[in-house]
Amino acid sequence: MNRAAPAPLRISTWLFVLLATACGSSGGADVGFVQVNGDPGAKDASVDAPQETPAPSSSADAGSDDVPSDASVETKLGPPYPIVLAHGFFGFEDFAGLDFVNYFYGVKETLFEKGEVHVYTPAVDPFNDSEKRGAQLAAHIEQILRETGHAKVNILGHSQGGLDARVVAHEHPDKVASVWTFATPHRGTPVADVVLKLTPSDRAQDLLDALVKLVGRPLWESIDGETSLATALHQFSKPGIEAFNAKYTDAPGVAYYSLTGRSQRSLALSDCQSKETPPFVADFKYETDPIDPLFAVFAAYLSSTELGGSPNDGLVRVKDAKWGTFLGCVPADHVDQIGHLFGDSPGLGNGWKYKTFYVELVKLIREKGY
């Protein structure tokens, strides 16, 4: 690990990550959104930005050419469109008041340094299904479009954030140019089916929801009466995801791309093969990743003969993460993909760097004209 966290913080963080990941994916907190724009000194009063770089602003730069001078005049600016980073299950931007701990750890600051002036990290309900989270994400995007004057956004969703992105694209195709999903359980995860078997009764699931609200309220501002871990679990289950996919089909005119991770020192060459794999993914074709101990049990189950020995990132199988144009796999488990914990390396002998990955992915988005 590059930076050691205090022992109590690390232990408590792992406990809550374990609670969430045992239930199906990775995820979100309602702390507003942060835009990285041309004024690195500005700051949104509703958000304490991470301290790795000067705190970015959450409002559009009033001096930018991209912002309409008359708010009453509707503008339709074209590409390059704003980038929206959509967090997954259990996501956070300001974890338990610790402003240096965010979901996409240091990613928006890195993109800002590379010249991306419109990067947003909306926060939605940390524990709920993507129908509800998608509606919240859509509301944030409406605000982003009003502030920037752009006609559309590009959504880059990690884990459940990719499902949220698909909801927005389905419901508002005129506002989304492209959807890019990273380790998203488009076809669910068997982990959810297992957990639901352990809590089969409605009362048991009600107790699970009550526990999440009790323990989670001090950590996530968005937890409220509608928060439901059980609802999210049902969505990730086999019948739940089949219903989701039948309802939220791809929208005409919106481009869909997907990538995922592989771990357990697996190369997964055949499963990860794609004619569309870009160089920044292909360069790590023969790099392997040691699974984080947090995911060891889940990874072993997902790769078991019972499930066909499927390569996975510790939570999502490669075959379940494919959607639209598949771009291949990177050597990273489910938390390596977002730089956790606290920006540590993905593991001994693995040279893949998550910040470089996001920079190159956004470059690809721009090269494709979005």
Contact in structure between 142 and 167 (CB atoms under 8 Å): no
3-class DSSP state of 257: strand
What is the C-alpha separation between 77 and 68, in angstroms, rounded?
A: 10
Tell me the residue length of the chain: 370
Per-residue tokens: 93: 């931007």
Per-residue tokens: 357: 């990955």
Contact in structure between 327 and 277 (CB atoms under 8 Å): yes
Predicted confidence (pLDDT) per residue in 216-257, tens digit: 443 444 444 455 566 767 788 899 999 999 999 999 999 999
What is the C-alpha separation between 130 and 91, in angstroms, rounded?
A: 13
Q: How would DSSP label each residue in 145-162?
A: HHHH-BS-EEEEEETHHH
Per-residue tokens: 129: 């299904």
3-state helix, strand and coil shares in percent for the chain, rounded to the nearest 5: 35, 10, 50
What is the C-alpha separation between 83 and 13, in angstroms, rounded?
A: 28
Q: Residue 318: left (phi > 0), alpha (psi -120 to 50), or beta? A: alpha
Q: State the pTM of this model.
A: 0.75
What is the C-alpha separation between 103 and 121, in angstroms, rounded?
A: 9
Tell me which fold the domain 7-367 belongs to: Rossmann fold (3.40.50)
Query: Which of 159, 333, 110 has its CA nearest to residue 258?
Result: 159
pLDDT, residue 196, reads 67
pLDDT, residue 192, reads 76
pLDDT, residue 115, reads 97
Contact in structure between 43 and 55 (CB atoms under 8 Å): yes
Name the H helices within 172-237.
190-198, 202-216, 229-236
What is the C-alpha separation between 264 and 313, in angstroms, rounded?
A: 8
Contact in structure between 128 and 46 (CB atoms under 8 Å): no
Contact in structure between 281 and 268 (CB atoms under 8 Å): no
> Can you give the pLDDT of all 370 residues of the chain as single tens digits?
444 443 333 333 443 343 343 333 333 333 333 444 433 333 333 333 333 333 343 333 333 344 444 444 466 899 999 999 999 976 554 444 445 467 899 999 999 999 999 999 988 887 789 999 999 999 999 999 999 999 999 999 999 999 999 999 999 999 999 999 999 999 998 877 776 665 555 554 554 444 444 444 434 444 444 555 667 677 888 999 999 999 999 999 999 999 999 999 999 999 999 999 999 999 999 999 999 887 888 888 899 888 888 999 998 999 999 999 999 999 999 989 999 876 778 888 899 999 999 999 999 999 999 9
- 279 burial (CB, 10 Å; 0-12 / 13-18 / 19+) is exposed
* Angle of helix 238-247 versus helix 229-236 axis, rounded to 10: 80
What is the C-alpha separation between 248 and 266, in angstroms, rounded?
A: 32
pLDDT, residue 184, reads 98
Give me the residues paired with residue 325 across strands: 257
DSSP letter assigned to residue 180:
E
Contact in structure between 182 and 111 (CB atoms under 8 Å): no
Name the H helices within 31-159.
107-113, 130-148
What is the C-alpha separation between 28 and 7, in angstroms, rounded?
A: 24
pLDDT, residue 327, reads 98
Whole-angstrom Cα Rg for the chain: 19
pLDDT, residue 70, reads 44
- 196 burial (CB, 10 Å; 0-12 / 13-18 / 19+) is buried
Amino acid of residue 39: D
Amino acid of residue 16: F
pLDDT, residue 226, reads 57
